[in-house]
Each structure stands twice: as structure tokens, then as C-alpha cells.
Amino acid sequence: MSAPAITAREVALQVCRDVFGPHPRGAREALDYRLRKATLDARDRAFATELAYGAIKMRRYLDFELEPFVGERAKTLPQPIAEILRLGTYQLRAMHGVEAYAAVSESVGLARKYGHKGTAGLVNAVLRRVADAPPRDADLATAASLPTWVVAHWRERFGEERLPAILAGVNAPPAVALAVDLRNADRGEAQNALAGAGVVAAPSPLARDVLVLAPDASAADIEHLAQHRWHLHAEAAALPVDLLDPQPGERVVELCCGRGNKTLQIVSRTGDAGTVLAVDSDARKTAELAKRLAAAGAVSVAVVTADATAMQAEADADAVLLDAPCSGLGILGRQPEARWRKTPDDPVRMALLQARLIATAARSVKPGGRLVYAVCSTDRREGEDVIAQFLAAHAAFARAALPARYAPASTAAGDVLVPPGIDGRDGFFIAVLSRAIP
């Protein structure tokens, strides 16, 4: 007799256990792995994704809702049962298309499979009480299920008026966007190709090679349709290359290139008619980038695995991009587990590395060249403070003028600051600098 098929709810449970287990994994990595092992149709895959990501994001709020009905027992519950209670509560409180009976009964079935009759009875009793009780009044950070210090940071950074929209945005499903490979299609052609497949896409008002898709767009379907005409790339993450504006024939250096979304965007903008040096210290990431470049037919990129802070650079690059490692406070909505893995000290710690990296990046910029510094963080210690320190020590560099289309996102000092969650974007800080010609 074959084992029962794994359900969407069980996939979500497995993902939560992976993320918060003794050997924590990233939510996306865990979800991809669990979905590959399960046989689910598109609807159930979407349900599992929403449930897993939602329960991971809303963990603080879910525990707050469960507290009156679980109490001190929460400290001794086996992890699978605690996660089942959170998943059931998320369905009852946040997934409005799910019937309470289904949320409770399916959770009880999971508790019986991953526990015993007693734990199944506990789950049944607790979730029935949750279903009958109105939501509790919670403070702003608990209701948004974010660390209190993160909410305080965004309040200070963006003001009380914008805070509710930011919190709602980071808890909504992350927006899907793509960067068009201008070697193979222009943005209008890509938009028409997507429309022909029933996918609604709109041009980004900022990045000239990006299309922003409808919230319900399937990332897997978009990749399947690509045929080397585009690659998935979050809108805000595409802004640094848009501001770098690499041109055909230029020499471009990209530090901390990662798996290469921005590298592919650079190749698209140069038409593969220049030279690009892409550097990262993670051999796994550079190996993946090399495969992606080969698949895209790109021949202008040299990929190097190295510590960028130790590089001996010559001032021969027209354009240098540094997408620096950071606290990641701007992408808490895109990475569900990230909010539970950050600490208030992260920005200070990362700023020390960022200062070293931008000093290295500057050595590659030739007179008349440009340097773009970017972090997916909203903390000024990783943004304005790093730039102020750099400019004070490098008199040859100054801020360059931003394109007019960036006016809505520009700061008083002339940098770009994108608040997280607004219009589905991730939070980013970007500075565009130029080196004077002596």
C-alpha cells in the first residue's frame, strides 16, 4: 500500500520545520526542495507557498494570538506541533478563502501524523478556540509581526505617515519583475510576448529595462516563457545597473556580483560589446554565474572568485558597481525568514566591511568614470554615512546628478532611497558618484 500523497499543508509544515529547525535553511531553498519532492498541481503549489511564507513572516503575531490558549505549554510543545498550530492560526486569521472547518480538521490530521492522539486533541481544542475568538488587540510591531527595533527604525527613517504602508507592503506577497535582455528584445516586445501568454506587465517608471508583473504572476511560468529575452529580477534590485548605465565598448567592474542578476543586466545594456570583470568571494555563486552567462551566450564577462577587499586594482574602468553585502533590512518582505535572523547591531558591523569595499571599488574607476554604491538596506549607517565617510577621504569623487525619473526616490543629498513595501518594491539605498578628470 503506497503512502498517502503529501498535501499542500504538509509541504508548508515541512518548510517551516526546515527554516526553524536545528539546521536552519532559507525559506525559498526549503520551499523549492519540498515542492520538488511533492506532487502538487499549480493551485496547491500556490497554496503551500502562501501558507508557508505567511506563517514564517507572521510568526510573532501568530504566537501572540495563540498565547491565551496555549500558555506555558508553548515552551514544551514539540516543534512540529507548534508549527502546526501556527499554520492553522494563519489560515484562520489571514487566509480568508479557507473555511475554519478545513483549517482545523486538516491541522488535526497533521498533528496526528507528526504527533499522537494527545497532540491531535490539543491542536483541535486550541484551533477551535482561536476560530471562535475575535483577533486580539496588538501593538503595531506585533500586529505586523516584525521585531520592534525594525519598526522603530522605519518610523524614524520614513516617518509615521508612511509607516503603515511600509508594514503592509513587507507583509504582502513580494512583487515579481524582470529585466529585459536588450540584446534579444526591447521592453515593448517583451511586454507584448507576455501579454500574448496572458501575463500582465507594466514598464517600471524607474529602470528602463524592467517590467513589473501582476502580483499573481507565476515566477516559474515567466522563466519558462523567457527564451533568453529576460530574467527574473526584482525592480529595486535592477536600479543600480540602470543608474550605472553601462554602454557598449566600456570596461565595467562589478564587485560582489553574487549569482549574477546584475551581471546579466550589465551584459544586456552593453550588448555584450565591452569587457566586464565580475568578482565574488563565494565560489558557488561564481560557478552558477558562469553557467548563466554561458547559457545566455555572453562572452564579454570574466568571472573571478576573490576577496574584493584584497584586489589590486588599476584605474581603468569606465563604470564600477558595488552591490555591497549589508544587513538586508530592505528585503525583509522578500525573504520571509530574514526578519527573525537580523539584529540591531548588523548595520554597524556591515558598515565596516562596506567602507573597505567602496575604497577598493574606487581604485578601479578611471578619471571621468563613475561608481555606483548600492545596499538593500534602509539604515543610514550603511547608506549616507558610508558615502559621507568615503567622500571625505576621496576628494576626486563627488555625487553625480540623477536622471529626472528618479526624483520621487531621491534624497536631499542626491542619493536614491527606496522605502520597502511601497509599490511592491524592496528597500534600497543607491549612491551615484563620479571621478573628476584632473
Task: Give the catalytic positions in this structure.
Answer: 376
Taking Cα atoms as reference points, which of 323, 324, 325, 317 lies closest to residue 246? 317
E strand or H helix that includes residue 232:
strand 230-232
Residue 307 marked ligand-binding: yes
Other CB atoms within a 10 A radius of the CB of residue 367 amount to 11
Taking Cα atoms as reference points, which of 256, 253, 176 lies closest to residue 221? 176
User: Cα–Cα distance between 204 and 202 in angstroms, integer?
Assistant: 6
Report yes or no: 60 and 99 within 8 Å, Cβ to Cβ: no
Report yes or no: 115 and 78 within 8 Å, Cβ to Cβ: yes
Q: Is 286 left (phi over 0), alpha (psi -120 to 50) or beta?
A: alpha
Report yes or no: 93 and 65 within 8 Å, Cβ to Cβ: yes
Under 8 Å CB-to-CB from 431, ≥6 apart: which residues? 372, 373, 374, 383, 387, 399, 415, 416
C-alpha distances in angstroms, 327 versus 159, 170, 387?
21, 16, 16
User: Cα–Cα distance between 355 and 335 in angstroms, integer?
Assistant: 25
The conformation of residue 412, written as its DSSP 8-state character, comes to T
Quick one: cell of 97? 478563502
Residue 280 marked ligand-binding: yes
**Which residue positions form the known binding site for S-adenosyl-L-methionine?**
280, 307, 323
